[in-house]
Amino acid sequence: MTITGDMLIGASAVRGTSKIQQAINPATGEVLGPDFHGGGAAEAERACALAEAAFDIYRNTSPEARAALLESIASGIEALGDELIERAHAESALPVARLQGERGRTANQLRLFARVLRDGRWQAATLDPALPERTPPRPDLRLQKIAVGPVAVFGASNFPLAFSVAGGDTASALAAGCPVIVKAHSAHLGTSELVGRVIQNAVADAGLPEGVFSLLVGAGNEIGTALVAHPAIQAVGFTGSRAGGLALVQTANNRAQPIPVYAEMSSINPVFLLPAALQARGAGIARDLVDSLVMGVGQFCTNPGLVLAVDSPALDVFRQGAAAALTDKAAATMLTPGICRAYDNGVAQFGEIEGLLRIGSGQTATGPNQACPALFETSAERFLADHRMQAEVFGPASVLVVCRDLEEMLSVARHLEGQLTATVQADADDHALAASLLTVLERKAGRVLFNGYPTGVEVSFAMVHGGPFPATSDTRATSVGASAIERFLRPVCYQNLPAALLPPALQDGNPLGLWRLANGELARH
């Protein structure tokens, strides 16, 4: 498939007239053709008008039709074969094996939402039959969930496939019945176009209105801001920086009609090493934790940026093991020059904080845009006193916080900002403390893990990839897993609707065979 540098607005390839952007290979600095002709407010307007025109037709397609669309996109992405992987590798410097895995995950996400659609529970069909004899009489009430409207999705820099053009936000919004307009991330423009063309073709092959999908490109904030501000857009999915996410939340709140922005922003993913586990497995935990820290050059939202333990001889073993393991880790190329600069600045700023000492380093950079892994240490007392130590340094950097005792560890846990994940390394003798910690961590994180590492997010029905601010802008939502569809649905109650006008999910006789809550009882008849 030829990459042209055009935007995809509905069925058309559109050459923008604002600033030209170029894809860059971060490993070499080489410019990767072609030029991408960015758009502005006019192109956002055109995509939004098409999305609005498509909305009623698309949301009223059958769940089966939307499931088939998602499956066709998944197959189309797989059919791109090596071309997609090679382009994504050139644009991101992510290893080929990682990108192949990410492609599988992207296809699986699309297929998961096809399954969700066929299962039907997403509609939350609920029937409260009329009670005419009651005083006062109860009307016939029936509830189902429907799509919110066109959705804007911002592709993430750190997942060129799984959180970008056909990533989790797009898959869940398309499943819900929402047209999607993606703002491509400037870090992987060619990858975005390849995947965008797959979706554009799938929409056309399914005979759906062209406005079901558009892909916009644009440097600077103009096109993204115009998109979020447009009255047709009813929700936003975003993964990126805290500053970017908050700017979009503000744009959404300043609209005449404010809308939800589901922004996944910053998280340092604390790992608590409890005493018995540290004593029994400290050296192994050190090795595995360092592997998790440097995985993907630390560019995972769930990267372990904070480690907490009580001072003890076992902690000395852990500390030495972690520092030694880090020494062997090579510097590796980050996604973009900007992300590498931000990492280097973050590490330099940590180096200037009094009482925050660098206790471990990986190998120094040998090429452009490479991050050298770093491990810092501080005391709980200093950590509690200096909020700067909670800042996310996006990349392979972590801070070990040494606590005087278990009570101080709990104090640090209570003091933490919201997180995507919190991890507890605990053996049986730690369980009493783990129970106290769990009570605190449930309030802090979207996912609490035991005896594992936070990197690696399963795409499944029970997954939560969300959490209190600043991990996300809406603590009630997840951006990974089947529940992600909830962000793009809203409930509607139909009161005393004539039978002929009832939507299929709510009709007498249950023609779709759904699990429905009928008179308070879950039933399938």
Q: List CB contacts of 396: < 8 A, sequence separation 6 or more.
A: 293, 294, 297, 298, 303, 329, 332, 362, 371, 373, 374
| Catalytic, out of 52, 210, 264, 408 | 264
Read out DSSP for 155-206? PPSS-TTTTSTTSHHHHHHHHHT--EEEE--GGGHHHHHHHHHHHHHHHHHT
Determine if 264 is a binding residue for ligand NAP (CB under 6 A): yes
Alpha-carbon distances, residue 91 vs 31, 60, 154, 293, 522 (angstroms): 9, 38, 17, 22, 49
Q: How far is the CB of 328 from ligand NAP (least distance, A)?
A: 25
Question: Which residue in the shown chain puts its C-beta closest to ligand NAP?
Answer: 244
326 vs 420, beta carbon nearer ligand NAP: 420
- The SS3 call for residue 81 is coil
Among residue numbers 322 through 351, which ones bind ligand NAP (CB under 6 A)?
339, 342
Per CB under 6 A, the segment of 115-123, 153-161, 407-415, 432-440 that binds ligand NAP is: 153-161
Residue 423, class by beta-carbon neighbours within 10 Å (0-12 exposed, 13-18 middle, 19+ buried)?
Answer: buried
193 vs 210, beta carbon nearer ligand NAP: 193
Please report, as a single letter, which amino acid is at residue 32: L
Determine if 224 is a binding residue for ligand NAP (CB under 6 A): yes
Handedness of CA 135, 139, 144, 149 (dihedral sign): negative
Per CB under 6 A, the segment of 87-95, 151-159, 310-318, 432-440 that binds ligand NAP is: 151-159
Determine if 42 is a binding residue for ligand NAP (CB under 6 A): no
User: Which of 240, 275, 418, 454 is close enough to bind ligand NAP by CB under 6 A?
Assistant: 240
185 vs 444, beta carbon nearer ligand NAP: 185
Query: Residue written as tokens 């409890």?
Result: 274
- Residue 108 has phi, psi (to 5 degrees) of -65, -40
Among residue numbers 268 through 307, which ones bind ligand NAP (CB under 6 A)?
301
Query: Residue written as tokens 């880090």?
Result: 326
For the record, the structure tokens of 118 come out as: 């066929």
Determine if 221 is a binding residue for ligand NAP (CB under 6 A): yes
Q: How far is the CB of 245 from ligand NAP (least distance, A)?
A: 7
Determine if 161 is a binding residue for ligand NAP (CB under 6 A): no
239 vs 279, beta carbon nearer ligand NAP: 239
Among residue numbers 357 through 396, which ones bind ligand NAP (CB under 6 A)?
392, 394
| Catalytic, out of 43, 48, 52, 301 | 301
Determine if 183 is a binding residue for ligand NAP (CB under 6 A): yes
Cα separation, 490 vs 381, whole angstroms? 45
Per CB under 6 A, the segment of 169-177, 241-249, 357-365, 503-511 that binds ligand NAP is: 241-249
340 is catalytic: no
Determine if 421 is a binding residue for ligand NAP (CB under 6 A): no
Nearest to 111 by CA among 56, 77, 70: 70
Cα separation, 258 vs 234, whole angstroms? 9
Read out DSSP for 19-30? -EEEEE-TTT--
- Can you state the angle between helices 63-79 and 96-119, rounded to 10 degrees? 170
352 is catalytic: no
User: Which of 92, 239, 419, 421 is close enough to bind ligand NAP by CB under 6 A?
Assistant: 239
How many distinct helices (H) and strands (E) make up the chain? 14, 23
263 vs 315, beta carbon nearer ligand NAP: 263
Determine if 241 is a binding residue for ligand NAP (CB under 6 A): yes
392: Cα separation from own chain's centroid? 16
Euclidean distance between the first and the last CA atom of the chain, given in angstroms as a whole number: 48
Per CB under 6 A, the segment of 22-30, 263-271, 349-357, 456-464 that binds ligand NAP is: 263-271
19 vs 415, beta carbon nearer ligand NAP: 19
User: Which of 61, 72, 267, 292 is close enough to bind ligand NAP by CB under 6 A?
Assistant: 267
Catalytic (active-site) positions: 264, 301
Binding site for ligand NAP (CB under 6 A): 154, 156-158, 183, 185-186, 219-221, 224-225, 239-241, 244, 247-248, 264-267, 301, 339, 342, 392, 394
